[in-house]
Amino acid sequence: MVQSNPRQPVATSSGQSPIFDKTQQLLVWLLPHTEKFPHAEKFRLKQRVEDAAFGFHELLLRAVGGPANARRYLPEAEVRLNQLRLYVRLCMELKLLSFNQYEHAAGLLTEIGKLLGAWIKKAASPAAERSS
């Protein structure tokens, strides 16, 4: 395991931070499911779900550049994550995802949210500010 560094979250045995691992798991699970959405939803909900998911991932990548980047991009990432939660719940309510599929996605989103919250807290700490 890599030592704690305020520039980025702690790495896992795969070499990536847990938040990147979980986000990757979510994307790999989510994209095949959105591909099954009816054609009528292609440019409505499908596009919004995918844009929110990829936008969230991109903001995480931007946040890795140091505490200043983390403080700049992580709040935006939190907004994207909340959008994604809303869209996934809407997919379930519109019967585009089953309840079991929703539960799986919601579980991943909850884990990602906890990891994101910890990273935001760490980036806002006085120790992180001194290292920027």
Within a domain: residue 110? yes
Does pTM top 0.75 for this prediction? yes
Within a domain: residue 4? no
3-state secondary structure of 5: strand
Within a domain: residue 16? no
Long-range contacts of 122-125 (CB under 8 A, 24+ apart): 122/6, 122/9, 122/70, 123/6, 123/63, 123/67, 123/70, 123/71, 123/74, 124/71, 125/6
Within a domain: residue 6? no
pLDDT at 129: 57
- Give me the CATH number covering residue 69: 1.20.1440
Q: How many domains does the chain have?
A: 1
Whether the per-residue pLDDT at 4 is higher than 50: the answer is no
Within a domain: residue 12? no
pLDDT at 41: 84
Within a domain: residue 131? no
Within a domain: residue 111? yes
Q: d(Cα 79, Cα 85) in Å, to the nearest integer?
A: 10
pLDDT tens string 87-123 = 999 999 999 999 999 999 999 999 999 999 999 999 9
Percent of the chain predicted with pLDDT > 90: 73
Whether the per-residue pLDDT at 66 is higher than 90: the answer is no
Whether the per-residue pLDDT at 17 is higher than 90: the answer is no
Whether the per-residue pLDDT at 14 is higher than 80: the answer is no
Q: Where in the sequence is the domain holding 91, given as residue range(s)?
A: 31-125
Within a domain: residue 23? no
